Homo-oligomer: A and B are copies of this chain.
């Protein structure tokens, strides 16, 4: 495979680079579009409420000044002072102390996880400068932690999924031992066995929902928030957005306070890890969609350039022989535009041009076909002994979450690649 890729790169060395740049620009454009749409929708949803709140506050202020005959300027000064006091964590209804040890611990937790609720912020210059250096190391360490967690959870899911498949096969009475020996020669098929990104996404999604719902039940009873508010808080905290409009465990007293504080920390830790993994898995799916869009655009451009007659339609969803055998069946649409596209471009250019445009519908169909193929391959490869699979799964020392790319591309980080 490496040879093939190298040969392709010799022919057009800058093709993968262009591909990467195109994907990057496409994503940037789509995110900008997403932001514009989001801004329009949120503006429509929230603007009326803002106006009402502004009116309400004006009335309340008027009432107060009229009733107590207070100078409005003096009241404004007091409110400004209150804002300043708010910054130091002071409220009318006493909150837990900000900077005792447990408060400071909660604070540093929100720093290194980059949640940053902002219910507590350093007010002294020394504190602010220290925060910069503290956060630099802390956030980097936490990113590593999240990535190692991601690695652990995917390894675990892979084990569980293989175990399930093995058990299912054993129950079905398939000759496991014989087929294992038979297929032990097929090193490639073993190498190809990896858990499906869709299953992993599903499992992580379910886990996230379960954690968020459990946490919401706790919060809504302890904090007297509505269930929707609690769910909203969970998402904002777990995704590390951390607005700070709702913050858990801020009152001075709770029933069974220590247990609640511990449970709060645990839920936030689990939630953040889970949602981080989910985000990363979703981002893979987004990347594939981008690749598919790019592939479609490229084919359309080429077709415009050299118009050719259509051929057999089924060609479009047919997986490409050996090269893509163990990847998604939608390879021709998705995986071709991976970075080794340059390598394949020369070989398959005729083939690609002969294929018809693939609509989203057909893409979905081809995806379903590929899932069926996948199932077959899973059942073919799942009953290979776990021994070899270990060496496969843990053999990639390079790939640790966000580190993957750097492990591949930087010195000192890659051992034998």
Contact = CB atoms under 8 A, between A and B. Distances in A.
B243 A284 contact: no
A186 interface: no
With a 10 A CB-CB cut-off, give which of A23, A102, A229 has the most chain B CB atoms: A23
A335 B152 contact: no
Identify the interface centre among A107, A154, A327, A399: most chain B CB within 10 Å of its CB: A399
A287 B405 contact: no
A100 interface: yes
A79 B100 contact: no
Contacts of A5: 391, 395, 416
A57 B82 contact: yes
Contacts of A9: 387, 390-391, 394-395
A409 B399 contact: yes
Contacts of A353: none
Contact of A91 (B39, B83, B134, B140): B83
Contacts of A64: 74, 78
Contacts of A30: 141
Interface stretch (A121-129, A168-176, A296-304): A121-129
A197 B409 CA distance: 9
Interface stretch (A112-120, A253-261, A311-319, A357-365): A112-120
Interface string A227-245: 0110110011001111111
